[in-house]
Amino acid sequence: MSFIIGLILGIIVYSFFRCIAGGLYTVSPDQRAVVTSFGKADRLRAVEPPPGDEGASGLSSEEQNRYEYPQVRVVRPGGPYFKMPWQDVHKVSVATQAVDLSWDPSKSQDTIEAVTKDNLTTGINGQLRYRISESNLYPYLFGVASPLEHVMGYFVSVLRERVANFVDPKGQNLLAATAPEGEPEMSTSAVDLSEGVSINDLRKNLPLLNQYMEEQCRSTTGRYGIELDAALITEIDPPAEVDRALSAINSTRNQVAADLSTARADSEQQITMSARAVEIATNNAQAEVAPLRELAQTLTEIKKEGGSSCLRAYLRNARIPLYSIANRVIETTDKGEPG
């Protein structure tokens, strides 16, 4: 009899701790929870997206049909909450987290490799910031086995495709802009157009590459329930021999750019000095011609007003001060001159 009573008391105590004490739980401020009953989450009634919002998730129409996940009821921070013994609580952290691009649970690696448009293998490293989407928890919890691993695989695939086809947009714009322009524009962009090495182009356009990755990976929210916050690609390191060759190319290019700048500065200085010399010579010539023109105008007016006799008298008077300062005078006569 005492055994039966003890068994009943044990069952009561076990039921108390299993159902009452074990059924209480809390949700911290950076967490969200989803409760499942016999493995099924409490789904909300489907809400039709507003017209024109089909592309807000970054998914195409075909992908929207493939990744159509239901909305589930989310337990907000707070508590204590109570759950029944047949219910399970799935908690996730919605805080922003960071992971290295080289993170791969299937293998150990320090960097990820990608092949550039020049068929060069280079290493890429950096970080990826993400957070779990509170509005789409179903695919993260129940859609795929390892959501973060899927996101990293998707990100690396898009990154490798972009690296393999990357072309410096600045070079393309310069080619399009300089074609109809004159020679000065072509000479100015000659150094930039000589880049042409994919690794150099990638290094110069890291912000553009990060922006492209953020735009292309916007669909990860609808696919895996993970919202990409920022892509921070910070390192593009080719093999040592390729890096040495690129350093030599960069040094040569910098030397060429410096020589071109020096030659351009010297030519502009020579042109400026030549223009200044021409201006000075022109001013001197005008200064020498001005008194002669003034004298010719004066003689013309004297002859016009007083006649030839007046002009000869003016010339005779003008010679008198010259005779006083001259050491020797040579006078010629012109027999053909009318008297």
Helices (H) and strands (E) in the chain, counts: 11, 9
- In percent, the amount of the chain with pLDDT more than 70 equals 85
Residue range 1-174+197-238, CATH number:
3.30.479.30
More confident residue, 34 or 118: 34
User: What is the rounded CA–CA span in Å between residue 170 and residue 312?
Assistant: 79
| Residue 169 in this model has a pLDDT that exceeds 50 | yes
Residue range 156-183: mean pLDDT, rounded: 69
Kindly report whether the peptide bond that precedes residue 80 is cis, defined as omega within 30 degrees of 0: yes
Site of tokens 């690696």: 109
Q: What is the pLDDT of residues 283-309, one digit of tens each?
A: 999 999 999 999 899 889 988 888 888
Mean of the per-residue pLDDT values for the chain? Answer: 81
Q: What is the pLDDT of residue 214?
A: 84
Q: What is the pLDDT of residue 194?
A: 46
Q: What is the pLDDT of residues 173-211, one digit of tens each?
A: 554 554 445 444 444 444 444 456 677 788 888 888 888
Contact, 117 vs 166, CB < 8 A?
yes
Residue 236's DSSP bridge partners are: 124
User: What is the rounded CA–CA span in Å between residue 297 and residue 309?
Assistant: 17
Q: What is the pLDDT of residues 263-283, one digit of tens each?
A: 999 999 999 999 999 999 999
Q: What is the pLDDT of residue 316?
A: 85
Q: What is the pLDDT of residue 190?
A: 45
User: What is the rounded CA–CA span in Å between residue 159 and residue 217?
Assistant: 10
Q: What is the pLDDT of residue 49?
A: 55
Residue range 37-52: mean pLDDT, rounded: 71
Q: Is the dihedral of CA 181, 183, 187, 193 positive or negative?
A: positive
| Residue 154 in this model has a pLDDT that exceeds 60 | yes
| Residue 64 in this model has a pLDDT that exceeds 90 | no
Q: What is the pLDDT of residues 74-122, one digit of tens each?
A: 888 887 888 888 888 899 898 998 988 888 888 888 888 888 888 888 8
Burial class (CB in 10 A: 0-12, 13-18, 19+), 163: buried
Q: What is the pLDDT of residues 115-147, one digit of tens each?
A: 888 888 888 888 889 988 888 888 888 888 888
> What is the 3-state composition of the chain as percent helix, strand, coil, each rounded to the nearest 5?
55, 20, 25
Q: Which two tokens stand for residue 123?
A: 């290493």
Q: What is the CA radius of gyration of the chain?
A: 45
Residue range 320-332: mean pLDDT, rounded: 83
- Complete DSSP assignment for 169-227: HHHHHHHHHHSSS-HHHHHHTHHHHT---HHHHHHHTHHHHHHHHHHHGGGHHHHHSEE
More confident residue, 309 or 253: 309
Q: What is the pLDDT of residue 153?
A: 87
Residue range 33-49: mean pLDDT, rounded: 80
Q: What is the pLDDT of residue 191?
A: 45
pTM for the predicted model, two decimal places: 0.60
